[in-house]
Structure 1
């Protein structure tokens, strides 16, 4: 993966990113109001932190929706762009025509998918909160993508999605909302609906990674190959208290800072993900698992390179490799042959 995919500007395959600017659509449709949203955001944040789902319509207020759009959606958008950019990089010739967005919220992953895959022609979104669906439809009117503007919205649970199949299926930040007893059946349904790639995203926490590792194992057992981030379909080498996760940098608007009570102009959203495919294997040679450590005359990396995690050093004397290493970021693919084994 190029360094852009996990750096501050995610990779994109759209020729008209400005017309796909979800943040601009939010600002136009919902304005820059921040008064009264901090408490609503805190209520949502407390709920999500404990694994709860978005409140039902009886409890989900307009302030909750606005707070989500202002302070939570920018992070989920950055993650979706990063993850789908990784899939696009591994499968550059793939042109999905259909998308099933599970747990769509206001359609964040749909916007990211339209940006990364201009080939999208039809979108189905599944979301349980009617207020989020209303917001998603309102925002979609301002998208350049006909697929986004014409998306079909279904109100219901991701554990029991409509009978639809799609080239690309995305389930973003929903595993933790499902009871453990329903996880396997839900994943099986998602995989049955997948014609090409199934992308599952979770928070970059030990618990989120543990759920994803179980999903990864189940999908491989069902015949999937892992497109990203893993460099193979072998058993995950992560062990002990360690967990595989990445980070996407999120630019904070003034409203974002006000709602969250932050001062910095950015934040880093930690996430874990897996993209499982029905296609031929398209693994990266290796992937950077930690922020590179720059030292005098060399740069140290922790990488996943099948069948193991290992430490690697790129010395300044290895000119071509060092040129790559200087630009490498946490989460990047490692080009074949760059990291020499001892």
Structure 2
């Protein structure tokens, strides 16, 4: 019944639009015949019926990504083709070596799911679902406190607005008082009251438009709501990030893991699901005792009185270990930097964590602009350290060391984020939820010699297929530090590269080896692209 009604309303709007256009044309012809002078503006702009529920943004607000095409010399990487599984029917391009993101829903361990169910039932909280949803949305929209410079610039803008809104009498009175060489006591009092009134209005307006940062209350109630709303998304995100290390560096077997800001222990479960036999020590650092208590309760399958944990050798501490205790194979800092409001304390923490890293350093945060800025802050800090020593290398997601191309798209940085499908609890309206996140993985020392280190990564959206013309469109972040929306043709670039591009998704690597000569020809060799030497707006 919904489809016929929708079609009926569309036809009704079109009939009204034609009727209004006919009336305008008739009025225009009648007035012109009577000798009235009409303005030169278009009289038919008002006949356009706008959708009140969809406001169109101006072109200047959308960043533009350059649209290019691969030249005919660019083919699939032969090393990547050797790793594509092959059966009697041919290559299985769905499992090409560049696939880093799971196409299926990430499975939650049954032990973890049962432990959470026991804890939620024993809590007796009837509003846990609604409270968890509120906390989920609040954490997603959380930001850092604004800096002093931004507050001063906002106050100056508000000062000009407040003074411009003054009446003419008030403006002339202030000018007369300021022009006088000496003021009486009453005039000084009047001028002071006016200044205080303006300052009060500025403070009130500044309070309305400023984000007010508040530290999170890590109490028992918060730990329960956090475990309900964030345990599964955190587990899925960390499993996706760590699985890339296992795929691209299969010889790596971690022996110890340190998790800064461990919370309810999602990193322990994610690491144990990938390396269940090699990790001998899990060192969890969190200064909130209630969060550590909840993490231990989950590891004990909801039974606080149980002695042994499901995952052995897990230790909880409230401070970082000393450097004498040695380094850890993997250091994880997930959704923690937002709890450090000052930049100096964040950079000091990053330096201490990097000193305790032996192989891989993993940072994860929310997929918002604020989370992306935190990741870029860490990236800039560690790359400065790499100028003195050659031990800092970016493993993922960046295929390049230069400045992030996302920062060059617009005045405000466009977040480089990715998406993972997370399962939902039974009984909720949806069976899955899309969780967006930003992350970066550093490798101390040289990267493992692998062809994936030089492959571009698909960012922003999944690949768009144009089947009638047999070409695909995808946005790539290339090893040379460039960002572009590329056309991959089946006829020009080969069936193998076209099929692998069509089977790739947001966050995967594209098995193609780009040469310097090929990159110089991107702008000039475009066949199927209808926007050659132009750009594509980022929606």
Question: Between Structure 1 and Structure 2, how many residues are aligned?
Answer: 321
Question: Counterpart of 2:311 in 1: which secondary structure?
Answer: helix
Are 1:169 and 2:331 counterparts? yes
Match of 2:423 in 1: 251
Alpha-carbon distance in 2 for matches of 1:61, 1:132: 8
Q: Is the 8 A contact 2:98 2:511 kept in 1?
A: no
Alpha-carbon distance in 1 for matches of 2:336, 2:347: 13
Match of 1:50 in 2: 142
Cα deviation digits, residues 27-55 of structure 1 (max 9, x gap):
24544966221453256346533345542
Question: Counterpart of 1:233 in 2: which secondary structure?
Answer: coil
Alpha-carbon distance in 1 for matches of 2:479, 2:311: 38
**Deviation at 1:322?**
2.0
Alpha-carbon distance in 2 for matches of 1:213, 1:9: 29
Tell me whether 275-284 or 88-97 shows the greater mean CA deviation: 275-284
Match of 1:121 in 2: 280
Q: CA RMSD in A?
A: 2.7
Tell me whether 230-239 or 167-176 shows the greater mean CA deviation: 230-239
**Deviation at 1:111?**
0.8
Cα deviation digits, residues 223-262 of structure 1 (max 9, x gap):
310111111222222222422110111111126x3xxxxx
Are 1:228 and 2:396 counterparts? yes
Cα deviation digits, residues 112-138 of structure 1 (max 9, x gap):
011122321101001222122112112
Q: Is the 8 A contact 1:129 1:155 kept in 2?
A: yes
> Compared with structure 1, are the counterparts of its residues 146 and 67 closer, same or farther at alpha carbon in structure 2 (3 Å cutoff)?
closer
Q: TM-score, normalised by structure 2?
A: 0.55
> Compared with structure 1, are the counterparts of its residues 336 and 193 closer, same or farther at alpha carbon in structure 2 (3 Å cutoff)?
same
Alpha-carbon distance in 2 for matches of 1:326, 1:137: 44
Q: Is the 8 A contact 2:100 2:507 kept in 1?
A: no
Alpha-carbon distance in 2 for matches of 1:55, 1:252: 25
Match of 1:186 in 2: 349
| Corresponding residue to 1:37 among 128, 140, 147 | 128
Q: Which has the larger radius of gyration?
A: 2
Cα deviation digits, residues 95-153 of structure 1 (max 9, x gap):
1100001111111011101112232110100122212211211222359x989332010
Alpha-carbon distance in 2 for matches of 1:74, 1:136: 13
Q: Is the 8 A contact 2:132 2:228 kept in 1?
A: no
1:57-136 correspondence to structure 2 within 5 Å: 60-62=219-221, 64-118=222-276, 119-136=278-295
**Deviation at 1:89?**
2.1
Question: Counterpart of 1:201 in 2: which secondary structure?
Answer: strand
**Deviation at 1:181?**
2.7
Q: Is the 8 A contact 1:2 1:332 kept in 2?
A: yes
Q: Which structure exhibits the higher relative contact order, with contacts defined as CA atoms closer than 8 Å and separated by 6 or more residues?
A: 2
Q: Is the 8 A contact 1:123 1:148 kept in 2?
A: no
Match of 2:177 in 1: none
